[in-house]
Amino acid sequence: MSAADDVTGAERASGGARRQVIIPERIDDADLPGGGRPPPGGDPFGRGAPPGAEPFSGGFFDGARVEEAAFHEALRRATPLARVCSALVRLNVFVFVVLVLSGVPLFAPRAADLLPWGANLGPLTTGGQWWRLLTSMFLHFGLLHLVFNMWILRQVGPLVERLVGPTGFLILYLFAGIAGGVASTLVHPNAVGAGASGAIFGIVGALLAIVAGGRGVLPQRMGLALRRSIGRFVVYNLLFGLLVPEIDLSAHLVGLVAGFLGALLLRHEDMLRRTELRQRRDLLLGVVSVLCVALLIALLR
């Protein structure tokens, strides 16, 4: 029996492929202004005075705006550009284009279409093809699936990368994605899984860990706005996942928790100014991530 036949049987038994899907409408652009880049007015919420203006308005001192301006300057000095996030978006798009040019349907590929390219399927993954936990993160079930995931990654990713640094960001992304893939294999062993949502939920979880850690990293007003926005995003997507059986809720939840816990190892109150500490914290996160992934894979054996 061919692999495609196995997949067809698995789809009938499990209700189809499991898609890691994110509903993007619940992240507010006002709360995530270009991934932490200040707009021309200087205020992270788009209401600031023009560059060079005195930090006074109507005769009183606006401490919140000064705090946010200092934050953006520290962010610019710590990590000027979010190159890893941009590279991940381009890589996902590149893989999707390659698949479409090779004959995979643009809008509604079947599970059997993605399996030869590295989608996650329990019997194959646990049978020795562990690399599927990684490759499945860069595959998507159609154009809309890709666009939704990449839109959220571009909204949240740049700010997180600039806060934790490029190496820490990449480790968080891969760790959360692989952990989500392991959870998907455990919960839905006979369903084909693909998508970057587990990894993206990990980035959202990392941002939640940073903003929930109290004052010292983000300005107070920005932190409050981000907590509200992240809370709405998580609740909405989890409820939607409960209503749509094709969505792999297990990968979302485990990815979210993995990113949150991983960011706790990277977060400290002076993380934007003492960037020399990043290398040690990145190494710690890398070691812990490898050990955790090894433990999770052992659960699949």
Catalytically active residues are 197, 252
Measured distance CA(247)–CA(240) in Å, rounded:
8
Please state whether 42 falls in left (phi above 0), alpha (psi between -120 and 50) or beta. left
> Cα(136)–Cα(181) distance, rounded to whole angstroms?
8
Q: Give Rg (Cα) of the chain.
A: 20
Contact 33, 39 (CB under 8 A): yes
Q: What are phi and psi of 154, to 5 degrees?
A: -70, -25
Neighbours of 75 (CB within 10 A): 20
8-state DSSP, 194: E
Three-state secondary-structure class, residue 56? strand
- The pair of structure tokens assigned to 247 is 């969505």
Q: What is the DSSP letter of 32?
A: S
Residues contacting residue 81 through CB under 8 Å, at least 6 positions apart: none
Residue whose pair of structure tokens reads 């990815």 in the numeric block: 255
Q: How far is CA 132 from CA 7, 66, 162, 217, 219, in A?
A: 15, 48, 29, 36, 40
Task: Count Cα neighbours of 52 within 13 Å in the Cβ-side half-sphere.
Answer: 0
